[in-house]
């Protein structure tokens, strides 16, 4: 080899050796295999839903999966169904206390702690799915929600929506308000209080216990979600009559709960990933229910002979009248509740005015005879 070529070869080898040494020293640069050492953060997510349950349980799994992928494996979330780590209705406490860094549920389950909490899931005769999304993200709802949860060390995110739900499953027909009196019904949130004032008896039990309670007669009626979830739950085996509309849950948001200390410990990019993953999961769940509800309803009616019924107008009118009182009273406990109610009602008034001449008018036009 000529001396000139030999010197060039030695110089190149030395340079490459220096780059390799730099890689080993900093542990930040990629080596020739493209691998980089990085810290992995592992979180637990507890939920109010049965493990992998269609729609809601799958929504929690979807959220965990995309956080894992979007973070490149730096933040790994493992999902625990209701009862696996903590009981369903202890999800909020588990996140607040740091037993789990994350949770997935619905805010109206926590109205015993915070009377205004149901506003961020749904309230009777309240906002539809598009309306509540608008209030939370663009109408000041998010800021109020975070203020409400702050004393518990929990940061909330919207992470799903079922759309308008069904009124529920009944073992007897509802012809008038008299049929509501004495009725034991599984129904959460403010809808339960409305039922109580209408003469019924509300019962709050987690989703995993709904079928058994209805089948054994522990309750006379039960609401869960809608056709897609209710078919999977097999509720048609426990009750004959399926009523609509879902006056108590016109647009039901699911929530992701994050322990505030755990969230604050994340680097800024992972915080943004958690936030945007929740929003993506919200859209995905909404699309899932929209796409599958009607096909599931057809199966219930045509294959399982479920009796589909509409609640009588006089019943709906009375329930709405009571609902206005209950919703207002629920927010009068403290100054923050009053601000939440004011924001909610102000937003509902202006968005409903638009919807009446947009979606409402369009849907009415489809009913016109040709």
| Overall CATH class of domain 41-161+251-290 | alpha beta
Could you tell me where in the chain the CATH 3.40.190.10 domains are found? 168-249+293-356
What is the rounded CA–CA span in Å between residue 227 and residue 220? Answer: 19
The CATH number, out of the four listed (3.40.190.10, 1.10.287.3240, 3.40.309.10, 3.20.20.100), of the domain defined by the range 168-249+293-356: 3.40.190.10
Quote the CA–CA distance of 143 and 343 in Å, as a whole number. Answer: 11
Q: What is the pLDDT of residue 8?
A: 42
For residue 369, how many other CB atoms are within 10 A of its CB?
3
Give the residue range(s) of CATH 3.40.190.170 domains in the chain. 41-161+251-290
CA distance 361 to 353: 11
Mutual angle of helices 268-298 and 129-138, in 10-degree steps: 170
Q: In what helix (H) or strand (E) does residue 313 lie, and over which residues does it extend?
A: helix 313-330
Global pTM reads 0.86
Question: Beta-strand (E) ranges in 59-131?
Answer: 75-80, 102-105
168, 224 Cβ separation under 8 angstroms: yes
Residue-wise pLDDT tens digits, 49-68:
988 888 999 999 999 999 99
Q: How many CB atoms lie within 10 A of CB 47?
A: 32
Q: What pLDDT is attached to residue 263?
A: 98
Q: Which residue in 306, 309, 321, 364 sits closest to 166, CA to CA? A: 309
Nearest CA to 93 among 109, 80, 70, 74?
109
pLDDT at 38 over 90: no
Which pLDDT band holds residue 174 (cuts at 50, 70, 90)?
Answer: very high
Measured between alpha carbons, how far is 245 from 196 in angstroms, rounded to an integer?
A: 19
| DSSP classification of residue 303 | I
The whole-angstrom separation of Cα 351 and Cα 250 is 15
The answer to whether 67 touches 75, Cβ cutoff 8 Å, is yes
Which of 15-29, 249-263, 341-355 has the least mean pLDDT?
A: 15-29
């Amino acid at each position: 080899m000529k001396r000139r070529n030999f010197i060039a070869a030695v110089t190149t080898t030395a340079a490459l050796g220096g780059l390799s040494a730099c890689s080993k020293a900093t542990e930040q640069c990629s080596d020739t295999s493209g691998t980089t050492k990085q810290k992995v953060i592992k979180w637990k997510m507890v939920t109010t839903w049965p493990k992998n349950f269609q729609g809601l349980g799958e929504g929690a799994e979807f959220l965990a999966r995309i956080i894992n992928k979007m973070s490149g494996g730096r933040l790994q979330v493992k999902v625990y169904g209701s009862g696996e780590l903590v009981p369903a209705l202890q999800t909020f406490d588990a996140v607040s206390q740091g037993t789990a860094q994350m949770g997935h549920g619905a805010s109206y389950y926590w109205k015993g702690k915070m009377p205004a909490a149901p506003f961020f899931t749904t309230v009777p005769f309240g906002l539809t799915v598009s309306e509540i999304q608008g209030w939370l993200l663009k109408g000041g709802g998010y800021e109020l929600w975070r203020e409400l949860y702050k004393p518990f060390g929990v940061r909330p995110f919207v992470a799903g929506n079922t759309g308008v739900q069904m009124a529920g499953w009944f073992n007897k027909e509802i012809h008038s308000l008299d049929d509501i009196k004495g009725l034991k019904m599984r129904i959460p949130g403010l809808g339960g209080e409305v039922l109580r004032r209408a003469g019924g008896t509300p019962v709050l039990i987690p989703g995993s216990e709904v079928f058994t309670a209805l089948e054994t007669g522990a309750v006379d009626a039960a609401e869960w979600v809608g056709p897609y979830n209710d078919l999977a739950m097999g509720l048609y085996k426990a009750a004959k009559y399926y009523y609509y509309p879902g006056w108590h849950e016109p647009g039901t948001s699911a929530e992701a709960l994050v322990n505030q200390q755990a969230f604050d410990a994340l680097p800024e990019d992972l915080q943004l990933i958690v936030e945007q993953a929740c929003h993506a999961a919200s859209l995905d769940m909404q699309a899932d229910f929209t796409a599958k509800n009607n096909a599931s309803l057809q199966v219930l009616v045509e294959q399982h002979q479920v009796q589909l019924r509409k609640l009588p107008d006089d019943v709906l009118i009375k329930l709405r009248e009571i609902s206005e009182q209950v919703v207002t009273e629920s927010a009068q406990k403290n100054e923050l509740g009053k601000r939440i109610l004011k924001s909610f009602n102000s937003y509902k008034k202006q968005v409903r005015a638009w919807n009446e001449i947009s979606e409402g008018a369009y849907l009415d036009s489809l009913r016109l005879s040709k």
